[in-house]
Amino acid sequence: EMLPRVVPFVLLLTGVMVALYGGFATPSETAGLGAVLALVLIAVVYKVWRPRDVAPILGATLKESTMLMFIIGMSLLYSYVMSYLHISQGAAEWIVALELSKWMLLATVIVLVMGLGFFLPPVSIILMTAPIILPPLRAAGFDLIWFGVLMTIVMEMGLIHPPVGLNLFVIKNIAPDIPLKEVIWGVIPFVLLMFFAIFLLCLVPGISTWFPNMIMGVGR
């Protein structure tokens, strides 16, 4: 009984993934494509196509999009202030000046990036810290592609890490009926999985590039 209800979502996900990983669309274009496919599915499968039926959906989408844009806009303003005051860059420069051992340097960078991830979007973190932290990491012998994968996981973990992860408040605004305490408890398993992924990447660095290399035929 559940299978027919799941099939439309599988088709939507498949269409989006094929467009993205097949190189037919950029990530931003894929988001638009996903919205168009969703509208087609609700019109064909659920027979929701009359303006009076679609209007509440568009209204809810506009409300949530406005809220998300406001949160992202404020975080970008916050990142501008931090950059203007040289706070993030100063912290990164201080870490480099400590002249730590290889793994202590990496651990300190991870803590810094995770802390910045509480308040800032990933793009801002990369722009403010990458020019400072990448040269010493390269000199310490770390593969920068591997570190890019690691840094992505750490930044995303910062966005959902209790108690002040930015996306916790995004989720709370999307679902205001759910208590914030329940939202926090709900993300803890994902935070633990990300911690495990970071540990695994440090233990076996090759897994971060093995699958892309296999797909692209590198080393054959």
Number of domains in the chain: 1
What is the span of the domain harbouring residue 204?
Answer: 80-216
Within a domain: 150: yes
Within a domain: 34: no
pLDDT digits (tens, 9 = 90+) for 103-152: 888 898 898 888 888 877 787 788 778 878 888 888 888 888 899 999 99
Average pLDDT over residues 195-207: 90
Within a domain: 55: no
The three state secondary structure string of the chain is CCHHHHHHHHHHHHHHHHHHHCCCCCHHHHHHHHHHHHHHHHHHCCCCCCHHHHHHHHHHHHHHHHHHHHHHHHHHHHHHHHHHCCHHHHHHHHHHHCCCCHHHHHHHHHHHHHHHHCCCCHHHHHHHHHHHHHHHHHHCCCCHHHHHHHHHHHHHHHHHCCCCCHHHHHHHHHCCCCCHHHHHHHHHHHHHHHHHHHHHHHHCCCHHHHHHHHHHCCCC
Within a domain: 14: no
pLDDT for the residue numbered 217: 67
Within a domain: 98: yes
Confidence of residue 220 (pLDDT cuts 50, 70, 90): very low
Q: Would the pLDDT of 1 be above 70?
A: no
Confidence of residue 56 (pLDDT cuts 50, 70, 90): confident
pLDDT for the residue numbered 197: 92
Q: Would the pLDDT of 161 be above 90?
A: no
Within a domain: 16: no
Within a domain: 155: yes
